[in-house]
Amino acid sequence: MTPDVTVVLARFDDAEPIRRVFTELQNHGIDAADIRIGGERAEAMQTATQGEAGRENLDRQLEGFVVRRAVKGAAMGAAAGAVVGVVAAWLGTSLANLESNVRPLVFLLVVLAVAVIGAALGAFLSIERSVGYDDTWQLTLDTGHGDETWIAVRVSGDDARDAVVAQMRTVTPPPSKVLVHSGQLDGAHAVEW
């Protein structure tokens, strides 16, 4: 006997909101095995990435996506680290019994060190929070195929269903359609594409 499952489906007309929903769902605890994409765009992307050239193109898109996120995160982390560094350096040089000619150098080194730590932390967090953990997620990087894409999420329980529906509706632009299907489905995944 197959178990009862609930699948939340949402239709998007662009790959960007699919990518954001996919990532946010994973960041909120939905397993990547419970998330699938389908529709015209997904089928075209899957076909386009089967060969070596298609796979290389997808890898280049992933590399560009990750680099953009890392640079943005590093810049924000460096700025935050510099602010924290200024405060820490001011407190440290004020409380330490340093000669007056050494204080500016210590101040500068503390600010730079904390800014570098902030940049590294910012880059890591930016990548970690914006990149999906599944090969299916990578297909959302290819924006040149098809007209519509569906994302399907297998959930168990009313609370999980409501949370997934709410998360899908927070994306801009919102999905053009959200459906909830409950019942019995065969196979390891609720939706096989």
pLDDT tens profile 101-115: 888 999 999 999 999
**pLDDT at 33 exceeding the cut of 50:** yes
pLDDT of residue 191: 44
- Range among 8-12, 89-93, 121-125 with highest mean pLDDT value: 121-125
pLDDT of residue 184: 55
Report CA-CA distances (Å) from 29 to 33, 35, 45, 62. 11, 11, 26, 23
Q: Measure the CA–CA gap between 76 and 68, rounded to whole angstroms.
A: 12
Least confident of 13-17, 129-133, 188-192: 188-192
- Residue 77: how many CB atoms within 10 A of its CB? 22
pLDDT of residue 99: 85
User: Mind listing the pLDDT tens digit for each residue in 36-58?
Assistant: 887 776 677 777 777 788 778 87
CATH of 4-47+142-182, one of 1.10.287.470, 3.40.50.300, 1.10.10.10, 3.30.70.120: 3.30.70.120
Please give the average per-residue pLDDT across 138-165, as a whole number. 78
Q: Is 116 exposed, middle or buried (0-12, 13-18, 19+ CB in 10 A)?
A: middle
The average confidence (pLDDT) of the chain is 82
Q: Measure the CA–CA gap between 165 and 8, rounded to whole angstroms.
A: 7
CB 8 within 8 A of CB 179: yes
Enumerate the CATH 3.30.70.120 domain ranges in the chain, comma separated.
Answer: 4-47+142-182
Reported as a pLDDT band with limits 50, 70 and 90, residue 189 is very low
First to last CA, the chain: 22
Q: Measure the CA–CA gap between 142 and 161, rounded to whole angstroms.
A: 28
Reported as a pLDDT band with limits 50, 70 and 90, residue 135 is low
Reported as a pLDDT band with limits 50, 70 and 90, residue 192 is very low
Share of the chain above pLDDT 70, in %: 86
- Range among 57-66, 71-80, 87-96, 149-158 with highest mean pLDDT value: 71-80
Residue 40 tokens read as 């015209």
